[in-house]
């Protein structure tokens, strides 16, 4: 493996090390399982001190990008989704409106995923969606368990997209999305008409995916989130003691 020092080095030593690893992975010069050069050689060629290099490698090890093996060296790893999830959670937790922001990301991911699912879903995907739909129906009167069943249906849509990138992003923020999902479910479950909506709308989305009707599936999913937001608004009014809105 050949390492070329950039003509103009920018950023601090940590940024240089991280940038090097990223570029080597994107170019294909480094792959999962490869071992980096020994510290002495790597620090010299990157133009950073060994303490800075060690600090950067430890930080990369914490997010699962590399593994430091004593007596072997630093080995390139593929970060696990659970590790990425923890990383995203810590970053996003500092935002005051994190739940609403995550919800918007969820909508964007799912609407693209449902279109891809219409093209790529296999019989096993249909079976999984059908199982989730039956679980939604079975647990409709139990907010927490029913909320989890509802979320698993949406997760199955993303998995059916066959897009590794969408699936990874979705899984990495799933803990935050689940929290948002269960909070919303607790709020809206007492609103009149919610149970019929949850069952009928999920059933219609499932049918559109099986029929491979991209436009219909996308429209239904977009409307699904809009109606869900309306139910949440009505639940807020109800909890505040106001009169429930008409259907």
**Does 116 lie in the same domain as 95?**
yes
Residue 8 lies in a domain: no
| Cβ atoms of residues 174 and 155 within 8 Å | yes
The answer to whether residues 203 and 106 belong to one domain is yes
Inside any domain, residue 168: yes
Report pLDDT digits (tens) over 142-176.
Answer: 878 888 999 999 999 999 999 988 998 888 888 77
Residue 244 counted as domain residue:
no
- Tell whether 195 is covered by a domain: yes
pLDDT given at position 140: 86
**Residue 58 domain-assigned?**
yes
Q: Is residue 33 part of a domain?
A: yes
Of 71, 72, 73, 106, residue with least CA distance to 88: 106
Q: With 0.75 as the threshold, say if the pTM is over it.
A: no
Say which range, 9-13, 146-150, 169-173, 188-192, has the weakest mean pLDDT. Answer: 9-13
Co-location of 59 and 111 in the same domain: no
Per-residue confidence (pLDDT) for residue 6, from 0 to 100? 41
120 plus 221 within the same structural domain: yes
- Please tell me the predicted confidence (pLDDT) of residue 80: 65
199 shares a domain with 126:
yes
Q: State pLDDT tens for residues 76-101.
A: 988 765 566 566 666 666 665 666 77
Q: How far apart are CA 199 and CA 207, in angstroms?
A: 12
Q: Do 39 and 158 fall within a single domain?
A: no
Residues 69, 93, single domain; the answer is: no
**Secondary structure (3-state) at 171:** helix
Same domain, 88 and 210: yes
CATH code, domain with 95: 1.20.120.530
Same structural domain for residues 90 and 38? no
Residue at a domain's end among 24, 55, 76? 76
CATH of the domain at 61: 1.10.10.10
Contacts of 146 (CB under 8 A, 6+ apart): 136, 139, 140, 185, 189, 198
User: pLDDT tens, 20-34?
Assistant: 888 888 888 888 899
- Asked if residue 202 is part of any domain, the answer here is yes
Q: What are phi and psi of 76, to 5 degrees?
A: -75, 135
> Which residue did the predictor score with more confidence, 42 or 12?
42
Residues 158 and 200 in one domain: yes
| Residue 5 belongs to some domain of the structure | no
* Band of pLDDT at residue 237, cut at 50, 70 and 90: confident
Whether 103 and 162 share a structural domain: yes
Token duo for residue 88: 């995203």
Same domain? For 160 and 51 the reply is no
Of 24, 59, 76, the one marking the end of a domain is 76
Q: Count of alpha carbons within 13 Å of 67, Cβ hemisphere only? A: 11
List 6's β-bridge partners, or say none.
none
- Domain boundary among the residues 50, 76, 102 is at 76
What is the span of the domain harbouring residue 61? 13-76
Q: In the prediction, which pLDDT does 217 show? A: 97
Number of domain units in the chain: 2
């Amino acid at each position: 493996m050949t390492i070329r020092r950039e003509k103009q080095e920018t950023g601090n030593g940590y940024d240089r090390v991280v940038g090097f690893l990223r570029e080597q992975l994107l170019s294909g010069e480094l792959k999962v399982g490869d071992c980096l050069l020994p510290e002495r050689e790597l620090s010299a060629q990157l133009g950073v001190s060994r303490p800075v290099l060690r600090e950067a490698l430890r930080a990369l090890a914490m997010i699962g990008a590399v593994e430091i093996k004593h007596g072997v060296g630093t080995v390139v790893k593929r970060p696990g989704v659970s590790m990425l999830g923890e990383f995203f959670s810590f970053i996003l937790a500092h935002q005051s409106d994190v739940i609403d922001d995550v919800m918007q990301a969820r909508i964007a991911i799912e609407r693209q995923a449902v279109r891809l699912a219409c093209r790529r879903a296999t019989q096993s995907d249909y079976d999984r969606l059908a199982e989730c739909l039956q679980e939604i129906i079975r647990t409709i009167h139990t907010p927490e368990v029913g909320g989890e069943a509802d979320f698993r249906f949406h997760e199955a849509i993303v998995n059916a997209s066959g897009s590794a990138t969408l699936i990874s992003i979705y899984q990495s923020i799933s803990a935050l999305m689940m929290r948002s999902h269960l909070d919303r479910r607790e709020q809206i479950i007492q609103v009149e008409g919610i149970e019929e909506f949850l069952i009928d709308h999920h059933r219609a989305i499932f049918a559109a995916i099986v029929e491979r009707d991209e436009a219909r599936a996308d429209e239904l999913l977009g409307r699904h989130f809009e109606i869900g937001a309306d139910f949440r608004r009505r639940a807020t009014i109800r909890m505040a003691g106001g009169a429930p809105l008409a259907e």
